[in-house]
Amino acid sequence: MKWCTLEATKIMNMCELPSLFNLKEIPLLIRSKILNNTLGITNMDCINELPPEWMLYVGCIKYWVCQQEYSTFHKYYLYSIFISMLFNIIDSKIGKHRNMHIFQKKYCQIIETIKQERKNDNYNSCIIDSTIIEAYNEIDHHDCVLAAPFFISHFKINEKLYTNPKIFSRYTVHVFAEFQSCVRHAMHLNALLRYPYPHIKIANLFNGTLLYNLSNNFKTRRNIEQYINTILQTSPSLLKLFHIFLLKVKPMFSHVLQDNIDPHRKHKKRGSKSNKNNLTKSDSEYFSADDNLHDPYYDPNNRFSLLNVV
């Protein structure tokens, strides 16, 4: 039997791919370069400053975004992935909760106590400069309790889908399915290269229902970051981590996260077109009525109207 071998070949930056048999022998630096070149990660990116479990995941996000068509890709997809990266931190602090009723039964009184104590102590929620690793390691347990209801509410399938399936967005599912596929293949390549980046525990970062619901929520917000600030204002350590994370990764996605990009612009155009059509229709009805003004008309309440038909 003849075995197939992967012969050395040239790739970007003059980095050579070794044979498959010798792949494990090459230095870590070269293995990292192979993966970085594949995902489009450059030296300017912040990957190495991130928590280890986020490194490859953010690299996958960059690759996925770069493959998207600019005209159809919206930044609320990106913000949905970013904010969903926090749910595992909350799970690790307070346990895994997906049922709002059970959570409220357990934490309702605790939440009220936390809020009252912070009010009495004039709790300061200002954001202090620190590294992303420091912010990640300083997440407060009480902050996670207060933020949990927002995330739990987005883990549940919208019941309106059962009665009105037409509101289900197959395109949104497709967008995140593409991202999931990118992550899967990047994980395989990372394993083949003997883990230049720490292995991704995908269940800790990706949840399809959560992403779908977050994107549906965010696409209705004119300022997504301001909305997130409002949601996390009672959880300053989580908000701090999210802000530092955004500052680090925004340069990687500047073409998507520009402030002047309005995800509603297409809806507005459709609305304008619809209004124009409605206006045209109204005008048509108006002129049609005018055209009939000279037709004979008999009003039984006006005896002189008979003169119109003479």
Q: How many CB atoms lie within 10 A of CB 122?
A: 6
**What percent of the chain stands above pLDDT 70?**
75
Query: Which residues are 159's β-sheet partners?
Result: none
Residue found by looking up tokens 């400069």 in the block: 129
pLDDT of residue 16: 60
Give the pLDDT confidence of 195-221 residue by residue, as tens digits.
Answer: 999 999 999 999 999 999 999 999 999
Residue found by looking up tokens 């593409």 in the block: 178
In a domain, 46, yes or no: no
In a domain, 178, yes or no: yes
In a domain, 96, yes or no: yes
In a domain, 20, yes or no: no
In a domain, 1, yes or no: no
Does residue 177 surpass a pLDDT of 90?
yes
Domain holding 182, by residue range, is: 51-260
Give the pLDDT confidence of 22-65 residue by residue, as tens digits.
Answer: 777 888 988 999 999 999 998 777 899 999 999 999 999 999 99
User: Of the candidates 260, 202, 255, which has an alpha carbon nearest to the alpha carbon of residue 81?
Assistant: 202
Higher pLDDT, 95 or 299: 95
Question: What is the number of domains present in the chain?
Answer: 1
E runs forming strands in 163-307:
none
User: Of the candidates 143, 307, 104, 159, which has an alpha carbon nearest to the alpha carbon of residue 231?
Assistant: 143
In a domain, 253, yes or no: yes
In a domain, 24, yes or no: no
In a domain, 288, yes or no: no
Higher pLDDT, 294 or 16: 16
Give the pLDDT confidence of 120-146 residue by residue, as tens digits.
Answer: 887 766 566 789 999 999 999 999 999
pTM: 0.77
Does residue 114 surpass a pLDDT of 50?
yes
Res. 267 pLDDT band, cuts 50 70 90:
very low
Res. 157 pLDDT band, cuts 50 70 90:
confident
